[in-house]
Structure formats: C-alpha cells, structure tokens
Amino acid sequence: MIVKRKLNPYLPVKLEDVYDKNGKLPLKAVYVGENYICSVSDGYTLVPNEDAVNLVKASLNELNIGYSDYTEYFNGRVFNKVIEIKDKPLNIGNNEIINPCIHIFNSYDCTLAFSIAIAASRVLCTNFLFIENPKVIKNIHYYKRFSSEKLYSNDFISEISNTILENMNRFDSQKVSWIKMKDFDVNKDNFYKIMTLIDIPNAYIEKVKSLIERLYKCNQKVNLWRIYNAFSYILTSPKCINDLPTAGYMNAALRPNIGKANEYLKKVNNAFLNMVN
C-alpha cells in the first residue's frame, strides 16, 4: 500500500539566493519544482527526499533484505516514508503477523533532520508499533559540518546498515513479551485500573479508553495486546492524534518526535510487562 499526497516528494528541489534592496541576504530560498516553500539559513545543506530514500534502500540492498514501499507523506516541507521489511515476519499467534518497518524522515524547512527510526507494522491493521529503544541515525543537514561527501559516503551507508541490522535483532526478543500480552485477558473493571498505572499525558489515556470501550460494548475479547496496540495507534496515527492538544509535535507525518512516542510506549510496555511476568 502506498499513500501519496498531492505534492510529489521527488520533484527537483533547489536553493536560490535571496536579495532585498540592499543586496544579498544571509538566506536561501527553497523551491520544490517551481513552488517556493520557505527561506532557510545560508548554511543549510539540502538533502533531497529522493536521496534520503535511496540511502536507506542502498543500506537494505547491502544487507540483502527484501522490502516494499508502504506509506508516504509530503506536504512541501516535511517528508515521511515507511518501508516495510518482508524478510523478518513474526507470527505472535492466530496468524497475526508483525513486520519490521523503517520510517524515513526529512524536511526542506529546517524543522526535521534526515533521520530514520525502526518500527513494526501489524498486518491486520495500519498502525505502527515502535520497538523499545530504537536507535535513530541523524544527519542534521542544517549544519555545514555535515557535507554532501559525508552524507553519500560508503561509511554513512554502512552506519545505516548497522543500525537496521541491530534493531532487526530486537524483534525476536520482544516476540515473547507480545505473546504474553496477547494471552493476558482484561475485563472492564481491570481495564480502568490498568489505565491508572500508565504515566503518560491524560489526553492519550482518554483516547485509548474510547477505543477499548467500544470493544467492551460489542462484547469483544480484550487483552493487554489489544490495549497496547490502541496506545500505539493513538501515539503514531495521524488520523487519531490531530485533535489532541499536545499532539502537534507527535504526529509522525507532520512533525515527528520519535523519541517522545517511544518514551510513552516504553512506559506502557514496562507497565504491561510487570503484569505478565
């Protein structure tokens, strides 16, 4: 599945000098195709979205890992692409398959460095599960010291490859925890008690309550795994978090903060592990 927005993220992008009546300014104008996007510092080093994607795919090819394009978003300034890994599926029971995936982030307006994060996608739905303690590579292209030679070097591709490989190994260790969560049934009374143990902002708690309460109303079985996925959905799905008052920087498609999403999910994960172990 590939979701593309109106703007083509792979249009040619360029920097042009900016002038006023007194002459040249210490700024650069960013153009995507013929569209003016914004002005940035004169020290800005542009990383085209296409190059960011190609660097990650080159790393996967180096590792001989099969992959496919999953989702894609671009609003003219911020870019997010998800690549799903096909060679490392995990079956946690009842044919529920989890595939590793790689989030690629980039921006043309200095808000977001070219970076990657390792996550997981459930085949049965479209939300993402960020693995615990993912390592994120960043090349902060706002600073001159990260030159194009550094960015496109074999060493940089190898660094991305090593990070991907390291985090693929984390999935096997988390499989046991996910299976335990799936086997831990939660009745309605216990569900509300569990919610009091989760130390994250209340806006997210209330959204999760709303999702799970629908399951109880339909007499569906609820377990820790379903609750965990509800938290992952709220924290990482643009459709769900746009209306949350604290979610502007949490939206993975608009202005991501993978560290914050992972921090909250780690708290949920730790609380649930204490219950099943």
Quick one: the chain helix, strand, coil %, rounded to 5? 40, 25, 35
pLDDT, tens digit (0-9, with 9 covering 90-100), for 88-119: 777 777 777 888 888 888 888 877 778 877 77
pLDDT, tens digit (0-9, with 9 covering 90-100), for 29-83: 999 998 898 898 887 878 899 998 998 899 899 899 999 998 888 888 888 888 9
Question: Distances from the Cα of 58 to the Cαs of 62, 71, 114, 134, 165, in angstroms?
Answer: 6, 19, 15, 20, 13
Q: List all residues 6 or more positions away from 8 whose beta carbon is below 8 Å from its beta carbon.
A: 33, 74
End-to-end CA distance of the chain: 37
pTM: 0.73
Helix segments in the chain, DSSP class H: 49-62, 148-151, 154-182, 188-195, 202-217, 224-236, 238-241, 258-276
Question: Distances from the Cα of 67 to the Cαs of 5, 125, 245, in angstroms?
Answer: 22, 18, 35
Helix segments in 183-257, DSSP class H: 188-195, 202-217, 224-236, 238-241
Element (H, E) at 24: strand 23-32
Which pLDDT score, from 0 to 100, does residue 76 have? 86
> Within 10 Å of residue 210's Cβ, how many Cβ atoms?
12
pLDDT, tens digit (0-9, with 9 covering 90-100), for 129-162: 555 555 544 443 332 233 455 677 777 788 888 8
- Secondary structure (3-state) at 254: coil
Which pLDDT score, from 0 to 100, does residue 6 have? 60
